[in-house]
Amino acid sequence: LKTQIVECAAVANWVFSKEMVPEFSKCYIWEIVHLTIRKMNKHVAKLQKDASEARKAIEYSDSDSSDSEDESRGRRKNKPAERPTEDQVEKLEDKLEAAQADQKNLFLIIFQRFIMILSEHLVRCDTDAVD
pLDDT tens digits, the chain, 131 residues: what are they? Answer: 555 688 999 999 999 998 998 998 899 999 999 999 999 999 999 999 999 998 888 888 777 665 544 444 444 444 455 777 888 889 999 999 999 999 999 999 999 999 999 998 899 888 887 76
| Phi and psi angles of residue 5, each rounded to the nearest 5 degrees, phi first | -90, -55
With CA atoms as reference, report the closest residue to 95 among 59, 34, 38, 54.
54
Q: What is the pTM of this model?
A: 0.75
What burial class does residue 84 get, using C-beta atoms within 10 Å of its C-beta: 0-12 exposed, 13-18 middle, 19+ buried?
buried
Q: What is the pLDDT of residue 68?
A: 44
Q: What is the CA radius of gyration of the chain?
A: 23
Which parts of the chain fold into alpha helices (H)?
Answer: 8-15, 27-66, 69-76, 86-128
Q: What is the pLDDT of residue 89?
A: 86
What burial class does residue 117 get, using C-beta atoms within 10 Å of its C-beta: 0-12 exposed, 13-18 middle, 19+ buried?
middle
Q: What is the pLDDT of residue 1?
A: 56
